[in-house]
Amino acid sequence: MADLVESFYANTPAFDDSPPSSLSPEDRSRLLSSYYPDYRPEGKATLKVGPNKGTVVPQELADVLESRSRLPSPRHLPDHPDHDVDILILGGGGAGITAALFAAKEGRSVLLATKLRVGDSNTVMAEGGIQTALGEDDSPVVHFRDTFRGGHGANDPSLLSVLVSEGPEMIEWLVSRGILFDRDPQGGLSLRKGGGTSKPRLISAKDYTGLELIRVLKEDVVNAPVEILEFSPAIELIAGPEGSCAGAVLYDLDSRRYIYVKAKSVILATGGAGRLHLAGFATSNHFGATADGLTMAYRMGIPLVHPESFQFHPTGVLFPSEMAGMLITEAVRGAGARMYNRLGKRFVNELETRDVVASAIIRECAEGRGVKTPQGASGVYLDLVSIDRDSGEGTVERRFPNIVKLMKRHHVDPTKKPILVYPTLHYQNGGIRIDARTRTTVSHLLVAGEASGGLHGTNRLMGNSLLELFVFGRRAGLEAAEQSLHRPAFSWKETSLSHLDRFEKELTSAFPATERPMAPVLFPDYRRKES
């Protein structure tokens, strides 16, 4: 493999450092509409069934939204549930863990069920940082404005206001749990720059931010009075009296049995959809990111907001191919990394918002200025060498040890050679519609984290998703604790899966001739394939 890498790099052009031309707002919208996958007509489907009927979404997402249940019809609930708890949390990433910790502190019985192990999530993979306005000339108000502008003005202002004003408190909580964020010489939290922001606002733990967060919070949740079921993804929500939510059906991946949980409140924190590989894109997401929460909520009739909007992170590794999709954090561009095409020319300001930078890369490749890999894919160079040149030898190694370690394993030393990148499917900008208390249109069903939508508009700024997990994870945990205290008692006999029958009836009339796929898909299936 080392030979292949060496011969690939033998053709690297000399890099011309002259700045790219700057973009007017019109240039940006033209670039987006021509190249950004969200705005392209290919590979799309119009939803025919459910609360978002008429919305155009990626075909792969339509396949899981307009799908059959894994539970075969006729469906019956057993005489008794396997678990009866105050609060059921679905998902063990950052939002689920945070919700569990705050709900358990209120003294409620909490069951957290997750697909893989607690902590296996997109959170653990986050590299760059958390956005929170701590700079002297910065404020939650400026954070609000930057995020709203970055989200193309499609953000829900009430969610955004909560995010920016409660963010610092959540950072205080994380620091008190012993999370080690990078510090400046005065002992304050170091602030770095991300794309699309007007102020340096990212706090990070080198490029291991998500790992550091999860290592610590996982230990806390394991030590908290929270019952944990791993390898037990939810496959359906259970309906209660008056169209409420009353629990969920889990699937035990080891015993291959269903587990029925009755709960006074359910928190969906099931994360994103990257492993659906929309439009054939590689993904930076963890193995279980298959839009399960969206699928289950949609069947219950809960509307999604911006389901057509996804974040294709500009810089996923393209070569060596075994690393395809792995993310190179935006923080490297904040620190001065530059991008070059096959001709060695810069082609976009590296600190434009993610969607603009991704579109520019796609354009370069579509117009023949991409760099070809031995496998025939096209990408552009992301050069970190300029960081060391600007900020001193050793900066890359000190600030981005994970990238250096991972790339070196595959014979590419990023302090000496550029990394070949192409956009990678990274984040679901939209999701299940929630209000500022994380409530949905179905009572006693709350949503937090990537599964929810509205906060980021149609383009998320770097570092806002980690902040969201903690701000809205806590809100969901506390809201569930409050609700479960006041919810009138109901019996297991009042619960049902009738919403599935209703949904499948609609499905049959909308797709009379075709058998719809089954979902949640739980995992991508890469078996017996050539690559």
Site for another protein (CB under 8 A): which residue of 14, 72, 242, 526? 526
Site for another protein (CB under 8 A): which residue of 12, 55, 321, 496? 321
For residue 16, the tally of other CB atoms under 10 A from its CB is: 10
Preceding amide of 81 cis, omega within 30: no
Task: Check residue 161 for interaction with another protein (CB under 8 A).
Answer: yes
Task: Check residue 223 for interaction with another protein (CB under 8 A).
Answer: yes
**What are the tokens at 426?**
């990274």
Distance CA 113, CA 271 (A): 13
Q: Is 306 a catalytic residue?
A: no
Task: Check residue 225 for interaction with another protein (CB under 8 A).
Answer: no
Task: Check residue 10 for interaction with another protein (CB under 8 A).
Answer: no
The kind and range of the H/E element at 466 are: helix 464-486
Task: Choose the stretch contacting another protein; rule: CB under 8 A; options: 215-223, 365-373, 439-447, 488-496.
Answer: 215-223
Task: Choose the stretch contacting another protein; rule: CB under 8 A; options: 11-19, 77-85, 160-168, 291-299.
Answer: 160-168
Is residue 156 within 8 Å of residue 222, measured between CB atoms? no
Whole-number minimum distance, CB 345 to another protein, in Å? Answer: 27
Q: Is 313 a catalytic residue?
A: yes
Whole-number minimum distance, CB 319 to another protein, in Å? Answer: 11
Task: Check residue 8 for interaction with another protein (CB under 8 A).
Answer: no
Largest CA distance in the chain: 72
Task: Choose the stretch contacting another protein; rule: CB under 8 A; options: 138-146, 329-337, 362-370, 484-492.
Answer: 138-146
The kind and range of the H/E element at 221 are: helix 209-223
Nearer to another protein, 11 or 223 (CB): 223
Is residue 381 within 8 Å of residue 420, measured between CB atoms? yes
Task: Choose the stretch contacting another protein; rule: CB under 8 A; options: 59-67, 219-227, 358-366, 444-452.
Answer: 219-227
- Residues 464-503 touching another protein, rule: CB under 8 A, are none
Task: Check residue 282 for interaction with another protein (CB under 8 A).
Answer: no
**What are the tokens at 122?**
């997109």
Beta-sheet strands, E only, within 152-218: 202-203
Is residue 209 within 8 Å of residue 462, measured between CB atoms? no
Q: Rounded to the nearest 5°, which phi and psi values hold at 234? A: -75, 140
Q: How many residues bind another protein (CB under 8 A)?
A: 80
- Residues 15-74 touching another protein, rule: CB under 8 A, are none
- Residues 183-202 touching another protein, rule: CB under 8 A, are 183-184, 186-189, 191, 198
Nearer to another protein, 91 or 210 (CB): 210
Distance CA 502, CA 299 (A): 9
| Contact characters 72-111, another protein, x per CB under 8 A | ----------------------------------------
Q: Rounded to the nearest 5°, which phi and psi values hold at 364? A: -55, -45
DSSP conformation letters of 13-35: PPPB-PPPPP--HHHHHHHHHHH
Which of 70, 54, 74 is closest to 62 using CA atoms? Answer: 54
Site for another protein (CB under 8 A): which residue of 389, 405, 416, 505? 405
- Residues annotated as catalytic (active site), given as ranges: 313, 333
